[in-house]
Amino acid sequence: MATRTVVLTGRVRDAAGNTTVTATTITVEARSTLLGWCPPDSTVTDIQRMAARYPQPRLMRLYSAPGKGIAPWSSGMLAEVPAQTVLHYSFKDWSRTTSPALIRDWLSARPAARRGVIDLVTLDHEPEQQDSGDPTPAEHRQEWKELLEALADHPRRREVWLVPVFTEYAATRSASWWTDFGQVATYPGVDAVGFDIYDTGYERYRTPAERNGFALATARRVGRPLVIPEWGIQRKPALKSGTTYDLDGAICAQAMRDNMAFLRALPDVPYVAWFYRGNCDLHATLAYPSGQTYVRDRERAAFVDLMR
């Protein structure tokens, strides 16, 4: 179990009115990192299919597509989230389909049964990719300021974490461009920093320290927990030279186990979600470059073990 230290500071007054400030450091046990999943698509059908494969998930990652506004709690995909499952929900279109009043009403309508669970809310995830009408850096910063202000005094504000989410691949390759968006992570009221992390663009699987290093450093620099809302490792059957590397997925399965062991030894990474889409869909039938098909059985077995 990972631990972390917390400094408690208080002002003490005696009967005569004399005061002093004192501080003490205590050690607390950090909750083990929860591993959940993001379905192939945020539809009722896909959520139900995933829930049949992996019942009672500890964490579920869902999205509203651009132009769709905020999903209602009472119907559609959000109604499929079990009461005790942590929800990480992303939406876009702040200036077009959403407003401070709407987001306040949405939080007010959060089901009473979920009050014992903290949900995560993200506006404009992965904005630096500039896909599907993503905001400019200036727009992104302004929208986040408005979101934080809208919910700052909401009576149910403690029931949600507000989490900007960025792309590790983009941030490490275009640091100056990403920083224009990443400033949001420093804003008062932000509860955690999120990074979507894959091994795309690397010939071999990265070590856990390599894979998570940038995201951890960024979150710790602003003093907030790290959340990994999308995590995926595509199987790498061969190296660029054509030499066989991981034909049966055994190395990938071990990389998955090593990654979660690394994160669970840390005190400040509470949530991770496997991106169950495309080449990271562990039930999909995929093809090697030769055309021979395969299913990621070894990786799926690792995933099942890691969710326990």
Residue with tokens 């407003």: 99
For residues 113-138, average pLDDT: 93
- Rg over alpha carbons for the chain, rounded to the nearest Å, is 21
Tally Cβ neighbours within 10 Å of residue 31: 12
User: How many other CB atoms are there within 10 angstroms of residue 134's CB atom?
Assistant: 17
Domains of the chain, with CATH numbers?
Answer: 31-307 (3.20.20.80)
* CA angle (78 as vertex; 72, 82 as ends), nearest 5: 140
Q: Cβ-count burial of 159 within 10 angstroms (0-12 exposed, 13-18 middle, 19+ buried)?
A: middle
In the predicted model, is pLDDT for residue 71 greater than 70?
A: yes
Mean pLDDT of 39-51: 98
Res 111 pLDDT > 70: yes
Calculated CA dihedral for residues 202, 273, 46, 64, nearest 10 degrees: -100
**Residues recorded for the chain:** 308
Tens-place pLDDT, residues 147-188: 999 999 999 999 999 999 999 999 999 888 889 999 999 999
The pLDDT of residue 27: 44
pTM of the predicted model, to two decimals? Answer: 0.91
Asked whether the predicted pLDDT for residue 146 surpasses 70, the reply is yes
Looking at every residue in the chain, the average pLDDT score rounds to 92
Angle at 274 between CA 288 and CA 185, to 5 degrees: 125
Q: Which two tokens stand for residue 213?
A: 């290093």
